[in-house]
Amino acid sequence: MPVEVRDRDIQTSAVLNEFLSYETTLATKNRDYRQWHKGREKFAVWTVGICNAQVQSRFDAARAWMDPFLFSPYCRQPHVTLLVCGFLTHSPRFSDDYSSQSFRHHLQDLWQARIQPFEICIGGMNSFAAAPFLEVFDTQGGLAQIRRILTNSFCEDRTRAYVPHLTIGLYAGAFNTRDVAEKMAAFQTKDRISCLVDKITLSTYSSFEIAGPLSAEQEIHLKTAGR
């Protein structure tokens, strides 16, 4: 079922309130996060790629607006994360590995579900402690439907509630959150932008590169899913 506007606004307000509860932002450091990747390179996430000129324009404007706070370079394409999977591998060894078997289960479940294209809406700016983002509203419940399918056979390593979002970038330093919030509040946005989702992608990025680009491992076109 589509999410009510009232509930969506409560969720995004809660995210901003949590951000303001921190004194400073969480800085991304340009270093090798060896303890995290343990030598594994490909980290996998199910995503919705954004191929919409209006959204791209807002994304670019938001990045330019927040540039004084952002880590550079940031090469990741605009996308909405559906599910954080883990390190892609044939033979899992660690709890954050994403096995070939799990991938096959996901692929089969998604095809069998015969998901139809749906719309989401892109709104204004908000922020987590580590990253500012454009708000994403699951107006027709499509994102929630896909997450139900994906989590049916896979336990996502998540400690907080899922919040759909379009990441603008990563914070380059420990900035005062009140100052950042004031900057975000001055960013001018008009109406929410409606965006059609007709494809989902298993994307990977290199854990050896900070904010590197996404690569498509598998694409599912919703209009042909299950046929």
pLDDT tens readout for residues 62-118: 999 999 999 999 999 999 999 999 999 998 999 999 999 999 999 999 999 999 999
Q: Is the dihedral of CA 208, 210, 216, 217 positive or negative?
A: positive
In 114-157, alpha helices (H): 142-151
What are the counts of helices (DSSP H) followed by strands (DSSP E) for the chain? Answer: 6, 9
For 16, 129, 216, the CA distances from 121, given in Å and listed in that order, are: 18, 23, 23
d(CA 159, CA 68): 30
Q: Which domain holds residue 180?
A: 5-224
pLDDT the model gives residue 84: 95
Domain count, the chain: 1
pLDDT the model gives residue 189: 85
d(CA 227, CA 224): 6
Q: What is the pLDDT of residues 15-37, one digit of tens each?
A: 999 999 999 999 999 999 999 99
pLDDT the model gives residue 227: 45
For 42, 136, 176, 204, the CA distances from 216, given in Å and listed in that order, are: 11, 22, 36, 7
Q: Which residue has the higher pLDDT, 161 or 183?
A: 183
* Local structure of 17: helix, strand or coil: helix
d(CA 155, CA 161): 14
User: What CATH number has the domain bearing residue 196?
Assistant: 3.90.1140.10
pLDDT the model gives residue 12: 84
Residue pair 125/189 in contact (Cβ under 8 Å)? The answer is yes
Q: Is the whole-model pTM more than 0.85? A: yes
Instruction: Give the contacts of 72 (CB within 8 A, at least 6 positions apart).
Output: 172
